[in-house]
């Protein structure tokens, strides 16, 4: 008998709760379904409206009060690698064929006060079994005429270079949108490609002029050991440390041309790193990352939120390395270079089924993925959250400079990702 | 009905001869919200005219009317469901910005003469 009541209550909730959401509290605030902001009706790949929402400081709303904007997400997975990983894919895990509850995140995501909003993510990493402060971007934005032209200017306080970016070609929100923590991954990566995430804090200013020209400049500082300990950013002992101020820049040309949205741009950062936290003779390694990127999105039917959408993203990152400290510590070559590149394309069918493919270089290979998000459309049955089922296969033709045996790292990754609001 | 119309025309003619002018009837203009954009970016209306905003999208919209750049005194017309419309009376001369607070890229300038 109690099960019957529970079933009735569940059905009533499904039909009466607010509309299905993206980061569900953002969607609750705007009254828009997930698909309004996100390709495939599930984050983080943004559509033009999603980019505009972020540009305007996460403050666009339907005028109703939705405070506090709290949401949750969680995803679990199965990982199979072509070759076993002797000793375990990670502590607490087997050599192969592992199930994991990858991440559970709690978000403050939405308006704080007029013109001020935030995306603050805290995450429990179910593989490392640790809690940490995750992506954070707090923004203040205003609309103003500049030289008689409509413009948006704003400030961003964030903890990962490119987490504040509007496009999915840059590292923080690039494809693949989730990946296995239990598979081998190439070690060679540029500094801007994730290794500074949550290790720094930066303040920047930006302007979008006439919906055409986007410019941004930020200054980052490395977080001290105590703060990294307190926020769960580990390992701290023996890890690299960011010193001095790291300037970051972003320039992009973008516009809507009919049903197409285009972007071409550049971004980069100059950082000074203490390898393993050491500074021999007061020296630090200097990394200069300069990148170019491009985006294209085509919306078949702009009047329909659940329209088919084709998206393509590409970026190339070149890094010059002046290893002034590493060369003293390990007799490394004092100068190095690293160039990575990747490009992906996806076709979202009715904001429900989204096949995607990516090619990547330095370590070389391809990723193919099929994602399915049943909800998040205006007429969806479930109105309080969304779920994304994905099957992903990563194929390596080169792994950390080695072609022989690279395919032993090929990975099948099946995941279930759910998000909901309170 | 014909007799009433003729009577009104006669009265109007008499008023004109006497040097009076009757106020013009208020006009109504329709702006369509579609594809997260207004159908026009600039319009000109007369004081007392109405503008009807018709939501042809499948998501909610909102109409926010502000005079000049200052949005502190913006008039919020509330949430507009798909298929719904909002009638806004422009009863003061000036330049007004119309926005959708949900979709900041939707912009319309209304000049009221």
Q: Hey, how many other C-beta atoms are within 10 angstroms of the C-beta on B69?
A: 9
pLDDT digits (tens, 9 = 90+) for B44-86: 999 999 999 999 999 999 999 998 766 667 888 989 999 999 9
Q: pLDDT value at position A191?
A: 96
Q: Hey, is A398 helix, strand or coil?
A: coil
Q: Which of B34, B35, B97 to mutate to test the interface with A (most CBs of A within 10 A)?
A: B35
Residues 87-146 of A with CB under 8 A from B: 143-145
Give dist(CA A26, CA A323) in Å, integer: 43
Nearest chain A Cα distance for residue B14, angstroms: 49
Nearest alpha-carbon partner for A44 in A131, A112, A137: A137
Chain B residues within an 8 Å CB radius of A113: none
Smallest CA–CA distance from B74 into chain A, residue: A63
Chain A residues with beta carbon closer than 8 angstroms to that of B98: none
Nearest CA in chain B to A34: B59
pLDDT beneath 50: ranges in chain A:
1-3, 5-22
pLDDT the model gives residue A140: 98
Average pLDDT, whole number, for chain B?
Answer: 82
**Cβ separation of B102 and A62 shorter than 8 Å?**
yes
Determine contact: A302 vs chain B, CB below 8 A: yes
Helix (H) or strand (E) holding A16: helix A2-16
Chain B residues near residue A36 by CB distance under 8 angstroms: 59
User: What is the token pair recorded at A230?
Assistant: 């307190």
Residue A303: list chain B partners with CB under 8 A: 34-35, 56-58
Task: Tell me the residues of chain B between 18 and 57 that have a Cβ less than 8 Å away from chain A.
Answer: 34-36, 56-57
pLDDT of residue B21: 52
Q: Which of A36, A49, A63 is nearest residue B79 as measured by Cβ atoms?
A: A63
Interchain CB distance below 8 Å, B35 and A152: no
Whether chain B has a CB inside 8 Å of the CB on A52: the answer is: yes
Helix, strand or coil for residue B23? coil
- A48 and B104: CB-CB below 8 Å? no
Q: In this complex, do A36 and B59 lie within 8 Å of one another by their Cβ atoms?
A: yes
- Phi, psi dihedrals of residue B46, rounded to the nearest 5°: -105, 155
Residues in Cβ contact with A336 at an 8 Å cutoff, skipping those fewer than 6 apart = A320, A321, A323
Cβ atoms of A351 and A305 within 8 Å: the answer is yes
**Alpha-helix runs per DSSP H in A144-272:** 225-230
User: Could you give the CA distance from residue A190 to residue A318 in angstroms, rounded to a whole number?
Assistant: 8
Q: How confident is the model at residue B23 (pLDDT cuts 50, 70, 90)?
A: low
Give the contacts of A3 (CB within 8 A, at least 6 positions apart). Answer: none
pLDDT of A385 = 85
Interval A196-213: pLDDT, tens = 999 999 999 999 999 999
ipTM, two decimals: 0.80
* Per-residue buried b or exposed e for A154-182, using 16+ beta carbons within 10 Å of the residue's own CB: bbbbbbbbbbbbbbbbbbbbbbbbbbbbb
Report how far residue B7's alpha carbon sits from residue B14's, in angstroms, rounded to the nearest whole number.
Answer: 11
When CB atoms are compared, the residue of B34, B71, B104 closest to A56 is B104
Cβ contacts of A55 on chain B, cutoff 8 Å = 104
User: Residue B24's pLDDT is what?
Assistant: 63
The residue of B68, B97, B103 whose CB has the most chain A CBs within 10 angstroms, and thus the best one to mutate to test that interface, is B103
Residue A339: beta bridge partners? A318
Is the sign of the CA dihedral A127, A128, A130, A131 positive or negative? negative
CB contact under 8 A, B104 and A152: yes
Two tokens, residue A43:
């984050």
Q: What percent of chain A has pLDDT over 90?
A: 77
pLDDT band at B14 (very low <50, low <70, confident <90, very high): very low
Q: Do A143 and B35 touch (CB under 8 A)?
A: no
The pLDDT of residue B26 is: 83
Task: Say what the pLDDT of residue A4 is.
Answer: 52
Tokens of A375: 């909800």
Place of tokens 């997930």: A34
Q: Whole-model pTM? A: 0.88
- For residue A237, the model assigns a pLDDT of 72
* A371, A388 Cβ separation under 8 angstroms: yes
Residues whose CB is less than 8 angstroms from the CB of residue A402 and which lie 6 or more positions away in sequence, other chains included: none
Looking at A164-323, which runs of residues are DSSP E strands?
A: 200-209, 213-222, 241-243, 245-257, 260-274, 285-299, 309-322
What's the confidence (pLDDT) of residue A238? 76
The model's confidence at residue B8, banded by pLDDT at 50, 70 and 90, is very low
């Amino acid at each position: 008998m109690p099960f019957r009541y529970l079933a009735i209550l569940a059905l009533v909730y499904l039909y009466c709760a607010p509309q299905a959401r993206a980061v569900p509290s953002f969607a609750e605030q705007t009254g828009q379904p997930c698909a309004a902001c996100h390709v495939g009706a599930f984050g983080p790949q943004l559509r033009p409206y999603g980019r505009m929402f972020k540009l305007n400081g996460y403050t666009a709303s339907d005028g109703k009060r939705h405070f506090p904007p709290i949401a949750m997400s969680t995803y679990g997975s199965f990982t199979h690698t072509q070759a076993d990983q002797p000793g375990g894919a990670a502590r607490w895990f087997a050599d192969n064929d592992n199930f994991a509850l990858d991440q559970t995140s709690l978000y403050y995501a939405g308006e704080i006060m007029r013109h001020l909003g935030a995306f603050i993510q805290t995450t429990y990493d179910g593989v490392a079994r640790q809690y940490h402060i995750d992506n954070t971007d707090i923004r203040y934005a205003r609309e103003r005429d500049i030289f008689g032209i409509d413009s948006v200017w704003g400030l961003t306080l964030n903890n990962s270079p490119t987490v504040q970016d509007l496009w999915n070609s840059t590292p923080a929100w690039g494809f693949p949108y989730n990946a296995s923590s239990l598979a081998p991954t190439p070690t060679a990566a540029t500094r801007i490609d994730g290794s500074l995430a949550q290790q720094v804090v930066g303040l920047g200013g930006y302007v979008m002029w006439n919906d055409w020209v986007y410019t941004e400049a930020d200054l980052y500082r490395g977080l001290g050991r105590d703060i990294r300990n307190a926020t769960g950013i580990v390992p701290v002992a023996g890890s690299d440390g960011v010193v001095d101020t790291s300037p970051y820049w972003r320039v992009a040309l973008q516009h809507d041309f009919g049903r197409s949205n285009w972007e071409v741009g550049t971004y980069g950062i100059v950082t000074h790193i203490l390898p393993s936290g050491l500074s021999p003779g007061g020296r630090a390694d200097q990394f200069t990352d300069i990148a170019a990127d491009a985006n294209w999105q085509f919306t078949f039917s702009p009047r329909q939120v659940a329209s088919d959408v084709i998206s393509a993203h590409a970026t190339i990152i070149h890094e010059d390395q002046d290893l002034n400290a590493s060369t003293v510590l390990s007799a490394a070559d004092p100068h190095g270079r690293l160039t990575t590149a990747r490009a992906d394309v996806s076709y979202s069918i009715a904001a429900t089924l989204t096949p995607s493919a990516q090619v990547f270089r330095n370590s070389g290979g391809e990723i193919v993925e099929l994602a399915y998000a049943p909800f998040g459309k205006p007429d969806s049955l479930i109105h309080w959250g969304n779920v994304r089922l994905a099957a992903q296969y990563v194929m390596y033709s080169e792994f950390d400079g080695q072609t022989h045996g690279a395919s032993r790292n090929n990975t099948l990754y099946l995941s279930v990702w759910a998000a909901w609001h309170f | 009905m014909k007799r009433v119309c003729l009577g009104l025309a006669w009265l109007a003619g008499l008023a004109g001869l006497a040097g009076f002018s009757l106020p013009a009837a208020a006009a109504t203009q329709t702006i369509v919200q579609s594809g997260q954009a207004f159908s026009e970016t600039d319009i000109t209306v007369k004081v007392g005219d109405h503008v009807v905003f018709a939501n042809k999208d499948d998501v909610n919209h909102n109409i926010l009317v502000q005079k000049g750049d200052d949005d502190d005194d913006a008039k919020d017309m509330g949430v507009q469901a798909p298929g719904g419309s909002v009638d806004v009376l422009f009863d003061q001369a000036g330049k007004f910005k119309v926005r959708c607070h949900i979709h900041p890229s939707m912009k319309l300038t209304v000049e009221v003469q």
